[in-house]
Structure 1
């Protein structure tokens, strides 16, 4: 994708071909063998795109070079030939004449003839009869530009000793060629020119007489297309459109890696109805001009919608004039005279380039959202994501600029969008740390809830212990223990006996319930040998099954016999006899305990079991206490991480200001950490969930200058910045101390403010998560802007409307590489401020970022040296009447008509102002 408008062209102003007698120098074969195509390819290899052919007093090679250039351009090369000549004027002063690419060898010969050069073509063996001054006049009269060649060298203008001669020649010249501009000797030939303080642009060419000399010197020239008009305008502009190669080591065509290439509007009320309205943009400075009502500002709003920047207004109050005005613009128009410029099928397409990749952003009124597609070289491929965050662009109307001046702290949002701060990334990090802290606090409360019954359990275990001791004091502990031991073992034996008994019954039941199936012998043919064999096998299998069932029956009987024998043995065993003795002693003990008032001796076992259960619960609580100690440590670490994260935001903002605004002579922007009095109440009330005006005397009352937040802000604002911008401890320490006092609200005082009973009761009813939120609360930073009124820096609130606007504009133009769109930034500014502020800033910034300005001030367009101008008019629909660089006649005419009232009006004003 190529760009519209002007760009920089690598221009060699001084070259020689084999038409010059000294071409090739000592290489005589080169002069005879070099073709026009090969000659041009030598320049193309060095990146030269525009070459002025300036042979000594000859234009013989012009036509063949022009034909070769046409063919090379058809092959895809960028090369343009400017016909020219190096005329040896009277007194042996060399003068370059450069003409439009349409000029021919015959045109050059005519200029040589008019200069009365009668020597050998291609040679400097004689001088013209006309003086350098008259030669220059002849060149200009023929439509070219005249440049005294290598004025500081041999055969240059400065070889003349007369300052009058040099002055007369330069007054008519278009520029001068200086080879060594840094000559500092007062007796150097160049001083004869510099002492005259003549304001002519300085250019340089290679003066190549051999291919090896190509590219050693050249000049960057800004034009839209190579033409004599473009070259003349660039020379008039001087340093803004002419750069010598010894002053520029990089490509001036470099631009920001984020560019808005075009906006296309389809089917809007006043645009794109009969055919889509497409406005293209240049990578540098674009000016949109037109009479009032021509649709200039509408283009800005179309861009805002197409680039998904409408959501910028979501931060404004619903009754904000700027927001209401935009929402009115974005409405569907119900009738010709109703508000709104949208229709049901309105579509806006923006083509945006980022890092060399092209994206198509499409907004439709039907969906009211922006979709994204990426160009893969052949087609647009849909992509996911939000255009608002993926494709940076800043758009400001004059009303927005004035609104920013009223509340400078809103500029923090712009600072936060910078790569230095990276607020979105920071916000993700903050949310993660904030969520982690909240989770830890919630987990701690959950664990603490498990300890809620600890005191109850301690009481219970104390009571149980007392009862156990009362039983054990009876002296019969061993009997009870033996009874419990033998009872447990006897229960085990009984359970096993019952288990074996159950197994026997189950096997016996299954065996009896499942009969052996009979064989249907009638199904087989006993005359068949094979079937007889099958029947025999089945009978054998049947016999085995009957034997298996009988075996099970015998085994069950055997098991029953064994069980009977075991029972008989057990009843006579020593173990059973010992158990009977223990039971006897236990029963005697029962009678004794009952006589002592203990209802049931079995309580001992239950008490032991109850004590074990309670002890187990208390052991678990000890583990919970340990976990709480660990989580306390984690909470402290998480809180420190939150503090560091919050510090990072303020430090990044301070770094941004240092990087972009340190030493700015127009404005001074300062950041006071955590000291924004305008939002401190709102943010704190949001944390405690009380957004009304309740408890104002306790919390914050600006009119009466009271409340603990008022006192906090006062103390934070009084802290003096140290030399180390990273040291925020004084502020953070004060905020931490404040939070401690909030948590200790029952003391009746916070930050020197006696709090009322109602507020204390409110705080007492706050849920624990609200206190977690207070822990992570920090006041916002405060941004202050001061402007230079010529004598000193004053707060922007003290300035006039123009001074406020200039301060904000100076800020907006001081940083960033993303596209910047401004609507009539000159409103509220006088012409002096427009020139000194906007125009100078535009010159400085457009090399680093794309700027699109909607304006009706000619100083911005002309003196700002717009690379591309779009002139609009309203013929029922927004229409482009002209577009292009300033060198183009139609563009200059529209600039003059729209912004100056026409050529006659401009001339009359000029006469009245400067010819009195």
Structure 2
């Protein structure tokens, strides 16, 4: 079909100022929206075009380690003529991508990718997401047969996994924030409990004061103190006068004991003085007699109080109070004067408790929110399981390769992730985490149990239950050593519990080959050609995004090329763009490539000497000249067409 407005495809790539490309003039390669074959002899730069595409489309992160090294060598800027590297400081790579009928222009320069808009440039955003392109070479294809989990990214490209991941991430953040708040509320709850304990203790002590007997004695003491104070106040009204009376009496006694002989004065003066002195003596005698008469009133306060009934009551109350104090000591109360302090402290604690009146409500609401988030999280896990299985079921309907998904079954990676979370790498706690039997077969442990539930239909529910037991350090699922370790780290770093509760273990993909007798065997049992052709056939059908393959024919025999590669390309190029670098003429001819690019190396640079379809003579000559068996492939195709026309 010629309507290509609904598909995405790469229109062209243009390379400038690379070490071996675009020096004299830009190297521009134009691609067909359907099938493009890049051909040429060895060392003509065919695979370099694919690497340049990787750079701009950011498709190097999913390369196996050995291929990452090759890629890093390719993108290096050589310091000397003999150093590896295809790039220079001035290198520019431009790509035009057509998506939904609109052209988008991306430029790579100096390590960054820019997008051009009406003459202006801005740094490109979400290149991988907005322009999904799949790029493989033979080594990658074979690596997938050894590590089938590499297929998961392509499984997830067939459903809205990107939106799913965003929701998962937001729920994880929401749960962690909820747990941070929960721990703060728990701290306030502890404070509330501490206040309530203190209040209960004070209430208990106050009750000890407020027994009938104690209350009576305290009331008596209170009344006695009031009465005593009143008496004392009255006495103090006379205290200074009494003191003066006593002082006067003492003065009279002192004067009475003294005498002075007046023998040097005249008789008249002596008569006046004697009269005055006798009068004073009479006064002193009368005063002394009067003071003697009231001597029982000229006493100290203590002497007065001891004569009163109140003094007896006070003494009795003191004895009773001493008995009360002994009883209070048995309740941990020191001192009878503590009672008013206790009352004051009780009032303070009651007031403080008002600040915590909403703690229980907040705690219940937070726990409910935790449960809601974890339920939503469980639903998200179930969604990933169902979506991945749905995609795989579709693949299995149209493939000679059977793909199986073991939910949470990537034991090695899951063990590593779990150990990182609990900060215990190595082989410690192996029996608790992932146990092996004598034949080095996994047979138990937390990670094993997660992937081998009692009921496959309840695998997520069992996972949640397992996580609950882990964070609560349930001894029923673990030994004492790991129990002690988990208690320690959870106490010091409670956020680890949040990591565990929001962890989604990795799935495992298992591949099986369909043999000629329609039996399935593990992919390891197949030849390199069988394995590569099967995975390639699968990749051809799993997505409508542009597919770029570098030399897929390596390890494949002619039958596999015809049955899997050619047939698959002819079926898929109707709906998606396919670009293939190849040495095999059958791929070029029998897929009826709409665009064939002949690469050559000359003058120190790689060049696209010719481009076009099979209808052009120069292209057919190039196929015959540079591809072994090219003429036979063209003759065979011509024969098939001629034969069809003669019918």
- The TM tier, using the shorter chain, reads 0.7 to 0.9
The reply to whether residue 438 of structure 1 matches residue 438 of structure 2 is: no
How many angstroms apart in 2 are the aligned matches of 1:286 and 1:759?
A: 58
**Distance change >3 Å, CA 810–CA 478, structure 1 → 2:** farther
Query: Which residue of structure 2 aligns with residue 326 of structure 1?
Result: 71
Unaligned runs of 5+ residues in structure 1 are 1-250, 484-588, 721-728, 912-916
Q: How does 1:533-552 map to 2 (within 5 A)?
A: none
Residues 362-405 of structure 1: per-residue CA shift (max 9 Å, x gap): 112x2x1211224x5xx455365131222111111111111111
Q: CA deviation at 1:332?
A: 1.1
The 1:609–1:355 alpha-carbon spacing in structure 2 relative to 1, beyond 3 Å, is: farther
Contact 1:308 1:370 in 2 (8 A): no
Q: Work out whether residues 546 and 578 of structure 2, in 8 Å CA contact, stay in contact via their aligned partners in 1.
A: yes
Deviation, 1:252, is 3.9
Q: Point out which structure has higher relative CO (alpha carbons under 8 A, 6+ apart).
A: 2
CA distance in 1, matches of 2:538, 2:469: 39
Say if 1:877 and 1:594 are closer, same or farther in 2 by CA, change over 3 A. Answer: farther
Match of 1:860 in 2: 587
Take 1:774 and 1:363, find their aligned partners in 2: how far apart are those partners? 40
Residue among 853, 869, 874 paired with 2:601: 874
Which SS does the other structure have where 1:464 is aligned? Answer: helix
Does residue 523 of structure 2 align to residue 796 of structure 1? yes
Distance in 1, Cα, partners of 2:102 & 2:123:
13
Q: 1:480 to 1:777 in 2, by over 3 A?
A: farther
Give the match's secondary structure for 1:253.
Answer: coil
Distance of 1:709 and 1:322 partners within structure 2: 35
Normalised TM-score (structure 1): 0.54
Question: By how many angstroms is 1:287 displaced?
Answer: 0.3
Contact 2:566–2:591 (CA under 8 A) maintained in structure 1? yes
Aligned length: 528
Q: Please, what is the CA RMSD of the aligned residues?
A: 3.2
Q: 1:409-558 counterparts in 2 under 5 A? A: 409-418=149-158, 420=159, 422-454=160-192, 456-469=194-207, 471-472=209-210, 473-475=214-216
Report the CA distance between 1:906 and its aligned residue. Answer: 8.5
Cα distance between partner residues in 2 of 1:816 and 1:434: 30
What is the CA–CA distance in structure 1 between the aligned matches of 2:67 and 2:578, rounded to whole Å?
Answer: 22
CA distance in 1, matches of 2:195, 2:316: 31
Name the structure 1 match of 2:628.
Answer: 900
Name the CA distance, whole Å, in 2 between partners of 1:771 and 1:685: 13
Q: Which position in structure 1 is the counterpart of 2:89?
A: 344
Counterpart-to-counterpart distance in 1, 2:145 and 2:414 = 20
**Contact 2:399/2:537 (CA < 8 Å) preserved in 1?**
no
CA–CA distance in 2 between the matches of 1:795 and 1:308? 33
Shift of 1:676: 2.5
Residue 488 (structure 2) aligns with: 765
Structure 2 residues without counterparts, runs of 5 or longer: 226-312, 326-333, 640-647
Alignment partners' CA distance in 2, 1:701 and 1:653: 28
Task: Provide the rounded CA distance (Å) in 2 between the counterparts of 1:330 and 1:358.
Answer: 27
Match of 1:639 among 374, 396, 402: 374
Q: Which is greater in Rg? A: 2
Find the counterpart in structure 2 of residue 357 from structure 1. Answer: 102
- Of 113, 121, 126, which residue of structure 2 is paired with 1:370? 113
Query: 1:698, 1:679 → 2: CA distance?
Result: 16
Task: Mark the CA change 1:662 to 1:462 in structure 2 (over 3 Å): closer, same or farther.
Answer: closer
Aligned: 1:672 with 2:415: no
Deviation per CA, 1:852-891, whole angstroms, max 9, x where unpaired?
A: 0000111111000100000001112111111011111111
Distance 2:530 2:155 in 1: 21
Distance 2:154 2:633 in 1: 42
Question: Which moved further from structure 2: 763-772 or 831-840?
Answer: 763-772
Q: What is the correspondence of 1:248-259 to structure 2 with a 5 Å cutoff? A: 252-254=2-4, 256-259=6-9
Per the alignment, do residues 391 and 842 of structure 1 end up closer, same or farther by CA in structure 2, a change over 3 Å counting? same
Find 1:786's aligned residue among 512, 517, 523. 512
Aligned residue for 1:310, secondary structure, equals coil
1:742: how far off?
2.6
Structure-2 separation of matches of 1:614 and 1:904: 99
Secondary structure at the residue paired with 2:556?
coil
The match for 1:820 is 547
Change (3 A) 1:809 1:384: closer
For residues 549-582 of structure 1, the C-alpha deviation after alignment (integer angstroms, 9 at most, x for no partner) is xxxxxxxxxxxxxxxxxxxxxxxxxxxxxxxxxx
1:137 corresponding residue in structure 2: none
1:691 to 407, 411, 425: 425
Q: What is residue 348 of structure 2 aligned with on the other side? A: 613
For 1:883, the equivalent position in structure 2 comes to 611
